[in-house]
Structure 1
């Protein structure tokens, strides 16, 4: 058992001096508690001496038992470490980020500075309780953000995520035993509102109405890649002979403009191209050198959403008679997924096309589109059962 002991300070000179000063202060009106007579002492896992003082012996004995148990089970945390301010832990966590893209780190930094540190910065990490965090999440849901508008469910969830990751760092570094940010109910996130699934005819009408950007919209509507991936697609990544688009990078917004970076979730992938689209893509590819963007704006640089959306896309939506559906360039991913599923693609194929991190995520979003195969399974089982029964009858 770990060595923990209690020391009576009654005859210690420093305790007697502290007691005299306390008595004088009390006469002067001080309400400060008297100095602790009982000192619990022990050695931590780092073999350094530790100590805590208590006014009453039962308090010291309870702490002694608790320390012995935590030291014996390996769940010990240095009480002084728990006094670390959250702001210090948050900066330590943020400085340790290595694999996140620049845009992600910028988002984390913004949320830290706007919502997390202003709330928790001066708190000692060990003083933060689960119920405190629950109350804060409720505040985020009910109060306007720094820009005066209510925070979206996704923004609230990401703010909580940043706080939770910083507190996880505090737990991993031995400052707190558990993470008080865990297991909170967060507002439901609707990814981009109602899904819109265009038919082949509707997609063709939309693409035709887009003029010179016809092929670009067909790529969005049939390949299912993200806007940021499509606008960063280089000519050398289009493999017409094998009918593949190699998705390895995406545009990301950073301070000062746009920058090419890794794809979302770092999910590099190859996406199939329809054979009927190859001859439409070929002349575009032949006009570009390897390393040049496949799809560009009028100025020869990457397509800019803020100009493409109103000037090209929204105009094409109206011309195709699709206004009122709520269709956006991003929602063409839903069309690609629905058409692929209707054509018989399984969940893994759709996951690969869209660049989802897992098949579970694909099923969460599009599971209702997959055909109900219960009757098919039941019929197959029935055929097997009849065959077995017939063989059994023949033997008898």
Structure 2
């Protein structure tokens, strides 16, 4: 309900009630101004664009802090990444009111980010801002988010570098002996670096040839239930990993020099050192690895092995422990063989069958 009444002092008082029944009022010298304000506020209520006056002063920085408190139930690594993104967001928007952040400002901000960060990082930070402002809309702090397809910087999708088998074995040879199992787990089982560092001896069934990831470094649950999918491995890999375990005597597959559990950072340091040691060798078919080659690129090699073997996308998805086939196709779709020729041959066979039937048709 809304109304306008003249006060004893000659001013006009406009009043309305929000959806919760709370009354809001404002005074004006002229009735036409009171009516204009009242029409504006009631229109916002009807269209869902209304925000409580007490919430309109909330800044982006204040809301980020509140949002982060609720986000703290996620995994430590996920929360740590969110905090890193928020530091960047606050540098530009901390003191701005939520309602004052316009799409044009978001677009200009992402353009500035691209001057400093890689496209993938820029997109990740932008998505964090979109997530935070989207939750502000859900909480009734904003009528609508300024982030949309028009403001998005676009998600970079560079094709992953796929090492050759010769390069992978050259890396293996260049790794310290106690960390060599990590190369095997990444290249031939597709484990991520945090999974490889935390893989325990009890997580591997050496007799059946099955690796069952259960935790990731540092003794945290895996990122999803899909990541727990058992990975079948050949006897050759199981035997080589078993030999490494016997030599180290540790409780984990990958260890430090004294047989204690290692860390992802130790593995990545070894990767950088080994990467630089791998030199071109025409006889062995080894090419120099790119400077940005990292442990996760061994996982791309694992995917390439599966695809080259002719496995379909659902099998590849399962072996990589992706949540959906979409993720697999978005990352490795270009590796799957071109089916145009097969499609043409299938249709041509139908035409050939028709031609054969006409030739043998009784006259």
TM-score bracket relative to the smaller structure? 0.7 to 0.9
Deviation at 1:389, TM superposition (A): 6.9
Instruction: State which of 152, 155, 168 in structure 2 corresponds to 1:203.
Output: 168
| Aligned: 1:95 with 2:69 | yes
Deviation at 1:265, TM superposition (A): 5.2
Deviation at 1:200, TM superposition (A): 3.0
| Aligned: 1:132 with 2:105 | yes
| Aligned: 1:223 with 2:179 | no
C-alpha separation between the residues in 1 aligned to 2:181 and 2:61? 50
Q: Is the 8 A contact 2:197 2:264 kept in 1?
A: no
Name the counterpart of 1:271: 231
**Structure 2 CA distance for partners of 1:103 and 1:344, relative to 1, 3 Å:** same
Q: What are the residue-to-residue correspondences of 1:1-396 with 2, within 5 Å?
A: 3-9=1-7, 12-13=8-9, 37-54=11-28, 56-72=30-46, 76-97=50-71, 99-112=73-86, 114-142=87-115, 150-183=116-149, 184-186=151-153, 189=156, 195-210=160-175, 212=177, 213-251=179-217, 259-264=218-223, 267-268=226-227, 269-285=229-245, 292-309=251-268, 314-315=273-274, 318=277, 321=280, 322=286, 324-326=288-290, 327-387=293-353
**Structure 2 CA distance for partners of 1:317 and 1:137, relative to 1, 3 Å:** closer
Deviation at 1:287, TM superposition (A): 7.0
Q: Is the 8 A contact 2:251 2:261 kept in 1?
A: no
C-alpha separation between the residues in 1 aligned to 2:19 and 2:166? 70
**Structure 2 CA distance for partners of 1:266 and 1:39, relative to 1, 3 Å:** farther
Provide the TM-score with structure 1 as the length reference: 0.76
**Structure 2 CA distance for partners of 1:141 and 1:215, relative to 1, 3 Å:** closer
**Structure 2 CA distance for partners of 1:245 and 1:217, relative to 1, 3 Å:** same
C-alpha separation between the residues in 2 aligned to 1:8 and 1:344? 81
C-alpha separation between the residues in 2 aligned to 1:265 and 1:53? 56
C-alpha separation between the residues in 2 aligned to 1:54 and 1:128? 28
Most deviating of 261-270 and 127-136: 261-270
Q: Is the 8 A contact 1:86 1:125 kept in 2?
A: yes
C-alpha separation between the residues in 1 aligned to 2:96 and 2:270? 50
Which secondary structure state, in structure 2, belongs to the residue aligned with residue 349 of structure 1? Answer: helix
**Structure 2 CA distance for partners of 1:216 and 1:136, relative to 1, 3 Å:** closer
**Structure 1: runs of 5+ lacking an equivalent:** 17-36, 143-149, 252-258
Q: How many residues align?
A: 352
Q: Is the 8 A contact 2:16 2:42 kept in 1?
A: no
Q: Is the 8 A contact 1:235 1:288 kept in 2?
A: no
Which secondary structure state, in structure 1, belongs to the residue aligned with residue 71 of structure 2? Answer: coil
CA deviations over 1:338-383 (Å, ceiling 9, x no partner): 1211111222232333333432222222211110011112222332
Deviation at 1:178, TM superposition (A): 0.3
Which secondary structure state, in structure 1, belongs to the residue aligned with residue 132 of structure 2? Answer: helix
Which protein is bigger by CA-based radius of gyration?
1
